[in-house]
Amino acid sequence: MTTTFADLGVPTSLLAVLDGDGITIPTPIQAATLPDSLAGKDLLGRGRTGSGKTYAFALPVAARLAAAGGRAAPRRPRALILAPTRELASQIEDTVKPLASAVGLRTHTIFGGVGQGPQVSALKSGVDILIACPGRLEDLIGQGHCDLGSIEITVLDEADHMADLGFLPAVRRLLGQTPKQGQRMLFSATLDNAIDVLVKRFLHQPVVHQADSAQSPVAQMDHHVLHIARDLRLPVLVDLASAPGRTVVFTRTKHGAKALARQLNSNGVPAVDLHGNLSQGARTRNMDAFHSGRATTLVATDIAARGIHVDDVALVVHADPPAEHKAYLHRSGRTARAGAAGTVVTLMTQDQIGDVRALTRAAGIKPTTTKIGDVAHPVLQELAPGERSLPGGIVPAAGTAPSRPQGSGGGGTGRRGRKTTGQRSGAGATSGGQKRGSGAGRSGAPKAGGSANGGQRRRTGSGGSGGSRGAGGSGGSGGHSAASFSGRR
C-alpha cells in the first residue's frame, strides 16, 4: 500500500499546497523522517542530494509552528533554517514560503552579497521562519538586529557541506544561542566526525534515518568516462551541450568556469556560468536564464554541486574531474533527481587516468570508459541523443562579488583599484587582480581546449588589512580560506 503525506500526519492545510504542486507521494527520506519530526523529536536525516530533504524539514517546521500558535516578536524569529550557500537558502525559501503562507507564517532569507537593509527591516517586522547563511546572520546578531532566544525549531541543512566550507565554528556559535529545549533537526548527505560532534553537542536523543545515501548512487544514473586528448576537450563539450535538454558542466576553478562559458557561447551554445567570483545579482540572473531555458548549459564550480535544484537536467559533465569522491557524487546529483533518469560523463585525459580510477572506486561506481578520437564517435550520440542545435551564444550576467565578504570580518582595499574582469573597482576584488597570460592572446579570448583558467594568471594578496596590491579578502583570514567565503558563497 502506498504511503501518503496524510498517512504521515501532514496537516490538511499543507496537503493542499503539496497537491497544488503535484506532490502526492513522499520520497523515502520524507516517509522515514516525517512521523518523528512532526512529533517534535530531534532528528538526524541522511539522504542523497535530490532525495527530497527540503520538504522533509519544511513540512514539520510549518506544521509545528502553526500548531503552537502565536506570532514572531520583532527581531526574534521562531524557527531557524541554516544553509551553506545563498543559492540553497533562496531555494529553501521557495519551498518553505508557500507552506508558511498557507498557515499564516512569515519567512525571510538572510545572506551576504546583498544589502542588509531589507533583511533588517524584515527582522524588525517579525519573521516566523528565518532561512539564513551563517556569516550574515552572525553579522546581524552582532549589530543587535536579531536574537535567537525565541527559536523553537532549528534545522541545519547540508551539514556536511557546512563542514567542507569551514562554517562549523559559526554554526556551533549560532546553535549555542538557541534554546536547549527547542527541536533540532540536522540533514546531511554524509556523516563524518565533524558532523558527529554537532550531533552529540546539540541534538537530544536524536532519531536517525537514512535513505538514498550519497554513497549509493541511484540506479537511474548512468556513469561514463570519455578518454580524450586534451585538444578534444572543447569540441566534445560543444557537441554534448548542443544536444536537446539541459546540461550542467563542472570545472575545477572559477576562472575556468567563466572561460568555458565564454568558449561555449562563442561556439553557438547558450551558456551561463556560476561561481564565487560573481556578485549575487549576476548569479541570480544567470540561474534565472538557465531555469527559463534561455541558456541550455550551466558551467559551474563546486558551488553548484550542492543544493541547486533545476528540473530536467539530462546530462552532467565533469569537464575537470573533482578532487575527491564526495564532490563527484554531489556534482552528479544534479541529474537523476526525484526518480528521473540521468547521465554523468567525466572527461579524462591521459595524465588523469590514475586519479579518475581512484575517484570512481572511492565513489563506489563502475563507469563505462570509452576512448574517443573525434566528435564523430557514436558514443557521443548515445550519451546525449538528439539532433545537435547551435542557436547562438548569449551574454551571461557579469558582476564581480564584493571584496569584503558580508558578515565575515574586515576586507582589504586594493592600492590602486586594479581592473578585474573588465571592471574598475576601488575595493580589492576577490579575483585578486588578474593578469593576462601568454595563452590568452591580445583579445583575451582563451584558446580552445586551453587551460582551465582561460589563460589568466592570478595574483592573490595575503588578506589581513588588505594593503597589498590586488589584495582583498577576509580580514586575518589569509586570503581565500574556506571560512572567508561565509558571506558570499
Residues 436 and 420 sit within 8 Å (Cβ to Cβ): no
Q: Bigger pLDDT: 49 or 103?
A: 103
Q: Average pLDDT of 45-65?
A: 87
In 3D, which of 352, 367, 366, 343 has the Cα closest to residue 321?
Answer: 352
Write b or e for each residue in 434-467: b if 16 or more Cβ atoms lie within 10 A of its Cβ, otherwise e.
beebeebeeeeebeebbbbbbbbebebbebbebe
Q: Average pLDDT of 100-112?
A: 96
Confidence of residue 283 (pLDDT cuts 50, 70, 90): confident
Q: Bigger pLDDT: 474 or 231?
A: 231
pLDDT tens-digit series, residues 368-397: 999 999 999 999 999 999 999 999 999 888
Domains, the chain, ordered by start: 5-211 (3.40.50.300), 225-383 (3.40.50.300), 403-489 (no CATH)
Render 21-89 in DSSP notation, one character per residue. Answer: TT--S--HHHHHHHHHHHTT--EEEEE-TTSSHHHHHHHHHHHHHHHH---PBTTB-SEEEE-SSHHHH
Confidence of residue 275 (pLDDT cuts 50, 70, 90): confident
pLDDT value at residue 74: 97
Cell numbers placing 191: 556523516
pLDDT value at residue 141: 97
pLDDT tens-digit series, residues 411-434: 333 333 333 333 333 333 333 333
Confidence of residue 409 (pLDDT cuts 50, 70, 90): very low
Q: Average pLDDT of 183-187?
A: 95
Has residue 202 got a pLDDT over 80?
A: yes
Vertex 387: Cα angle to 384 and 388 (nearest 5): 80
pLDDT value at residue 48: 65
To the question of pTM greater than 0.75 for the whole model, the response is: no
| CA–CA distances in Å: residue 217 to residues 30, 237, 301 | 18, 24, 21
Question: Using CA atoms, how far apart are residues 106 and 138, in angstroms rounded to an integer?
Answer: 21
pLDDT value at residue 481: 33
Most confident region among 83-97, 116-130, 331-345, 400-414 by mean pLDDT: 116-130
pLDDT value at residue 335: 58
Q: Bigger pLDDT: 94 or 219?
A: 94
Has residue 225 got a pLDDT over 70?
A: yes
Residue 394 burial (10 A CB sphere; 0-12, 13-18, 19+):
middle
pLDDT value at residue 7: 94
pLDDT value at residue 461: 39
Most confident region among 155-169, 245-259, 401-415 by mean pLDDT: 245-259
Q: Average pLDDT of 154-168?
A: 87
pLDDT value at residue 333: 65
pLDDT value at residue 472: 37
Confidence of residue 153 (pLDDT cuts 50, 70, 90): very high
Question: Using CA atoms, how far apart are residues 236 and 98, in angstroms rounded to an integer?
Answer: 42
pLDDT value at residue 312: 73
pLDDT value at residue 402: 57
**% of the chain residues with pLDDT over 70:** 75
pLDDT tens-digit series, residues 441-468: 333 333 333 333 333 433 333 333 333 3
Q: Average pLDDT of 55-76?
A: 96
Q: Bigger pLDDT: 441 or 234?
A: 234
**% of the chain residues with pLDDT over 90:** 51
Helix (H) / strand (E) containing 132: strand 129-132
Confidence of residue 310 (pLDDT cuts 50, 70, 90): low
pLDDT value at residue 327: 75
pLDDT value at residue 478: 37
For the chain, give the mean pLDDT.
79
Q: Average pLDDT of 205-216?
A: 70
